[in-house]
Amino acid sequence: MKRLNVAILGQGRSGLDIHCAFLPTDPERFCIRAVVDALPERREKAARLFGCETFADYRELFGRTDIDLVVNALPSHYHPPVTIDLLKHGFHVMTEKPMARTVEEVDAMIAAAEQSGKMLAVFQQSRFASYYQKVKEVIASGKLGRIVQIQIYFDGYARRWDWQCCQEFGAGSLYNTGPHPVDQALDLLDYREGMPDIFCKMDRVNTFGDAEDYVKLLLTAPDRPVIDVEISSCNAYPSFTYNVQGTRGGMQGSLTEMKWRYFREEEAPEQHLIKTPLMKADGSPAYCSEQLTWYEESWQAAENDTPFTSAVYRMYTTIYEHLTEGKPLLVTPAQVRQQIAVMEKCHQMNPLSRMDQE
């Protein structure tokens, strides 16, 4: 089995706590060969933990032929320019989310990949999370009937005062948290041939910066359900991550457990439209109601399957199989382009003043 040598750019929460946390658990397929970070204490820690080379500047990797994959886990506003630079210098690159802030930046990244002949991937691991795979499985089974509405709520109550609440760094809840639920929403909507209809309202609530921390986004398209995406830092009573409404049932749950109930149409009482007043046997008014036989099922994540563990493993598996076997990427730059187009439109609909322009 071929082992891929990986260089990780950035030792923040994503670089260290996700990528560097996963890669050593899969030593047959991956090896951390190099880590890049501007902070000397982070480089020292990486060398100690992973026994790898460390650099202060990613350009020190240029000319290397022993690096099979570069993971760009730098702060968000560095994703497009650094990724393009790496592609032009002959590296396969997987960039963290958000891929970019604008479609123009995405197109430049895709063009650089095409010109270099190198892989461009985006780390949208939540597409492979167990809870999301279960939602897709139940919807695809047809048990819930035609899907009318899907709610995806990434909610909680929090105040934030780091760089992730500053627009100048490409931050805010939509670009930071949004790539997960919006990617899932567009995957479920399955309307890749065009742009969906969009309504979006954003607000600054508990943040100490100038970016949004509340987002309400509605997506739909012809012959598709309404998908309601909410990302909120002001919900003190979060109750669910997913709520699915269908013509024969529904589904609700969190990142670790799901439940769904449905009836079987062939077992339901036969009904027909009655336009005259409904009456009971004694002639008194009757309410329009019936007794349905409901079937209920549930799912719970395995004890060792956090929303990150299986998703990261599956995401890296797609990258490994693409680079070693030529299998197609399951999350493509073109798909993520649609996501960025939606996010860019949301920002155009909700222009917020910026501190760096005041």
The secondary structure of 264-281 as a DSSP string is -GGGSPP-----SPPB-T
Nearest-angstrom CA–CA distance, 252 and 46: 41
Task: Please report the pLDDT score of residue 61 as a whole number.
Answer: 98
Number of domains into which the chain is organized = 2
For position 358, what pLDDT does the model report? 52
220 with 288, same domain: the answer is yes
pTM over 0.85: yes
Residue 177 lies inside a defined structural domain of this protein? yes
Domain assignment present for 142: yes
Q: How many C-alpha atoms does 357 have within 13 Å on its Cβ side?
A: 7
Q: For 211-242, how does the pLDDT look when each residue is reduced to its tens digit (9 = 90+)?
A: 999 999 999 999 999 999 999 999 999 999 99
pLDDT of residue 182: 98
Is the pLDDT score of 357 beyond 70?
Answer: no
Spatial distance between the Cα atoms of 124 and 336, rounded to a whole number of angstroms = 9
Rounded CA-CA distance 171/211 in Å is: 7
> Which residue in 210, 220, 214 sits closest to 201, CA to CA?
214
Residue 71 · residue 18 · CB < 8 Å: no
In percent, the amount of the chain with pLDDT more than 70 equals: 99
Same domain, 102 and 9: yes
CATH number at residue 50: 3.40.50.720
pLDDT at 105 over 60: yes
- Decide: residue 335, CB within 10 A, 0-12 exposed, 13-18 middle, 19+ buried: middle
Q: Does residue 79 sit in the same domain as residue 210?
A: no
Asked whether residue 348 is domain-assigned, the answer is yes
pLDDT of residue 87: 98
Residue 95 and residue 313: Cα distance in Å, rounded?
16
- Which range marks the domain in which residue 165 is found? 127-306+339-357
Considering the domain architecture, whether residues 208 and 93 belong to the same structural domain is answered as: no
**Cα 185 from Cα 290, distance rounded (Å):** 34
**Percent with pLDDT over 90 in the chain:** 93
Mean pLDDT, rounded, of the chain: 95
Give the pLDDT band of residue 328 (cuts 50, 70, 90): very high
pLDDT band at 304 (very low <50, low <70, confident <90, very high): confident
Strand order in the sheet with 120-122: 53-55, 30-36, 4-9, 69-72, 93-95, 120-122
Beta bridge partner(s), residue 203: 214
